[in-house]
Structure 1
Amino acid sequence: MSAGEIFWDVVPYVTIAVVVVGTWWRYRYDKFGWTTRSSQLYESKLLRIASPMFHFGILVVIVGHVIGLLIPQSWTDAIGLSQHAYHVQAVTLGTVAGIATLVGILLLIYRRRTRGPVFMATTANDKLMYVVLVAAIVAGLATTLMGSGVVGEEHNYRETVSPWFRSIWILQPRGDLMVQAPLSFQLHALIALALFALWPFTRLVHAFSAPVGYLFRPYVVYRSRDVAPKGQLVGSRPHRRGW
């Protein structure tokens, strides 16, 4: 077994452990920091454009990754979806969503750098997160173009990267498959692992939040205010003369 195979067998589990333990630690000891630290009050014009573009784009990217990594090629073959048709829709949607995501994040970074109050609220942690996030998006776009044959030689990642990814979750890692993938795919996977390892310690942790408690919160009771005589207060305690 080569060093590369050992790396792709072990590092994913290290990353998963960091995500699980880090998320637990963040929730246990930093609940007040579990937030996006929204800067909408400082500037909203650019935010109204950049934020939806980034978030809708990244949602499509996530759906594409779920389909590409979790659904075996044999399943799409069984329903009559040819490899060519699959790659055409994957490249088309992936490129559009990837560009939208990249433009959105670049606008957010531009806004954060050029708007004084927003920049003042930016931490070193945020800067590191933005660097890794942009690197992951750029690497993803590159692998989309390279893997489809638009740039370089075509590579069917569903024969290497996808089986490797699925093997991790059944506790039978196949690092040998990842070693066979082109360097661009390995680099994209490595950056993604780094991003997930950073995830619990950045503002990205807000993606794990959902307003579940809102569904079970008690009703807010409103009571009418009694009219008090002039110079008096309504309440259980008598009015006390002040200075």
Structure 2
Amino acid sequence: MNALNQVLWVIFPYLCIAVFIFGHIYRYRVDKFSWTAKSSEFIEKKQLMIGSLLFHLGIIPVIFGHIGGLAVPKSWMQAVGVNDHLYHIGAIYIGGFFGFVTLVGMFLLTFRRFSKKSVRQLSSFSDLAVNTLLLFIVIMGMYATVVTNAVQPDFDYRTTISVWFRGLFFLNPNPALMTAVPLSFQIHVLTGFAIFAFWPFTRLVHVWSVPLNYVGRSYILYRRHKPTN
């Protein structure tokens, strides 16, 4: 069991992080022209627009919630007046709401990719796999947030998962902290690291291509051409 814990909670996370970093470097240097989201908007637009809007509106607060819950120690939260009850309300109700929005958006995007024949034919295996994995991750996250927290209200991931997670970045992870973590949370964590390993080799790389330079870019001037006699 100790060996399995080392594989799951030490070796596997570090392997996924390494693939995430070096995979991006490799793809940018070798295959930068495929660095795109490969939009299928011209095939079907309505479901894509609704699903993408809901997913992005939900996932951004969810990401910040994960950062706050995993990276910020419990003692720091309490020091600024956020007690366990207040944090629990925010995690369950606010996190649950945005998690549900993310789930609906991800379901629509995944359903569209598999059910629309033309979109499915345009999709690669990695497209289908990533959609499925992302949907599964969101489902497990919602299950852990809503169901597991209701069944096991005494479980506090900030004293187990969060401490273990921060230990990874200080090169001192404690796999024993994860042994008592409910299975739904364990699956959510492992699949979350798995998506980071897949990331560099899929269309997810488009996240790093946000056109921020558009904000400060000069306006394009159009002048009427006057024909000369």
Q: Same fold (TM over 0.5)?
A: yes
Moved more, 88-97 or 2-11: 2-11
Do structure 1's residue 160 and structure 2's residue 152 form an aligned pair?
Answer: no
- The C-alpha deviation readout for 1:24-80, integer Å capped at 9, x for no partner, is 111111212111111111121222211110111111110110110011110111122
Q: Name stretches of at least 5 consecutive residues in structure 1 with no aligned partner.
A: 230-243
> Is this contact kept in 2: 1:146–1:155, CA < 8 A?
no
Moved more, 126-135 or 208-217: 208-217
Q: Take 2:221 and 2:98, find their aligned partners in 1: how far apart are those partners?
A: 45
Amino acid at match of 1:37: K
- The C-alpha deviation readout for 1:112-167, integer Å capped at 9, x for no partner, is 2333332221111111111211111111111112453x134531000000011111
Q: Take 2:144 and 2:135, find their aligned partners in 1: how far apart are those partners?
A: 14
Question: Counterpart of 1:180 in 2: which secondary structure?
Answer: coil
- The C-alpha deviation readout for 1:97-123, integer Å capped at 9, x for no partner, is 111111111111222233333222111
Amino acid at match of 2:113: R
> Is this contact kept in 1: 2:141–2:188, CA < 8 A?
yes
Moved more, 174-183 or 132-141: 174-183
| Shift in CA distance, 228/104, structure 1 to aligned 2, threshold 3 Å | same
| Aligned CA-pair RMSD | 2.2
Q: Name stretches of at least 5 consecutive residues in structure 2 with no aligned partner.
A: none
Moved more, 45-54 or 179-188: 179-188
User: What percentage of aligned pairs have identical amino acids?
Assistant: 42
Question: TM-score, normalized by length of structure 2?
Answer: 0.90
Q: Take 2:77 and 2:108, find their aligned partners in 1: how far apart are those partners?
A: 37
Counterpart in 2 of 1:18?
19
Counterpart in 1 of 2:30?
29
| Shift in CA distance, 75/118, structure 1 to aligned 2, threshold 3 Å | same
Q: Take 1:228 and 1:111, find their aligned partners in 2: how far apart are those partners?
A: 53
| Structure having the larger proportion of residues in helix | 2
| Structure whose CA Rg is larger | 1
